[in-house]
Chains A and B, each alone.
Chain A
């Protein structure tokens, strides 16, 4: 079934149709939340909140890019989670562990990929939220500048500048560690 039909049926309250959309996008939603928040439990909460908000608010979706609309809701849910976690005791950067994925990894390969993931997670955590969002959406999730502008409700110039500043900061953090990384 076409995405437009699923959206239309979801607007009429058809949960099965909406869950087909969830199935299609939950990987991107969860990964955005995971990279934004750096913690799997917080990412699960943000993903669930975002998808529920999307189901409740789908009546307000006026067409256009559904993925960008859904990721905008996810980014907002992440902001709520960040506010929630800011009020909690500070989590050590060591907690920002994201298990790498891949088929038939050797233990060495797994360790190297995990090390890479850890370093990038720490570097991302050090970025301001808007720059982190731009870097994740472009460099990890593969959205275009135009889609990111829709997610951030900002201009292309703003996207360009946030991505540029975010990468410059990542470089400052990662460059001294580059030789140690796989």
Chain B
């Protein structure tokens, strides 16, 4: 159930800006009138004031060194990082494409079972042999198999290696540039 704030709670919320003289004149009037008749809030104010005074005693320290920039970071140092990171991103996209295509058989074709073996034996299917006359019924019996048209396995390995190399180059150039900037 919603419980309205007591006057003490409201005033306690205004003590910090009251210390800083950041209240409007009407808010200040409310706080001062309340403080005159509420000892608990007076103690709260004294305690908060003591903490604020304590924090005000913290001194600023001198920087341990100059942070002046010795020279502008050469722009050419930014180029390899941009180039390598872009190349890495492109390679990652290709790699993802190959994995997805491979997993979903996007570029595979369905061929009758045994056709590959026959192609391998004869080289061509140009002249239908007498055996092939009954081919349709064989296929109907044996069904189809999926044959990949793209060498996905090789592509995946090649692009994985490429991603690792490009990623490493990006990291090396980024670290080099960071070192130069820190020296600056």
Contact = CB atoms under 8 A, between A and B. Distances in A.
B51 A13 contact: no
Nearest to B183: A48
Contact of B58 (A52, A99, A140): A140
Interface stretch (A1-9, A60-68, A81-89, A171-179): A171-179
B59 A102 contact: yes
Nearest to A175: B47
Interface string B113-128: 0000000000000000
B16 to A, nearest CB: 4
Contacts of A98: 61
Contacts of A55: 69, 72
Contacts of A175: 47, 51
Nearest to B55: A139
A116 B55 CA distance: 9
A100 B59 contact: yes
B47 A171 contact: yes
Nearest to B56: A139
B16 A164 contact: yes
Interface in B14-36: 14-17, 20, 22
A62 B64 CA distance: 31
B181 interface: yes
Interface string B62-101: 1111111101110000000000000000000000000000
A22 B67 contact: yes
B9 to A, nearest CB: 12
A51 B181 CA distance: 11
B69 A135 contact: no
Nearest to A140: B58
B74 to A, nearest CB: 13
Nearest to A25: B67
Interface string A67-89: 00000000000000000000000
Nearest to A34: B61
A67 B22 CA distance: 22
Contacts of B71: 15
A47 B16 contact: no
A140 B34 CA distance: 30
B62 A27 contact: yes
25 contacts: A15-B69, A15-B72, A27-B62, A28-B60, A30-B63, A35-B58, A44-B64, A52-B69, A52-B181, A100-B61, A101-B62, A113-B59, A120-B54, A120-B58, A135-B55, A138-B20, A139-B58, A140-B55, A140-B60, A145-B22, A160-B16, A167-B16, A170-B55, A171-B47, A171-B51
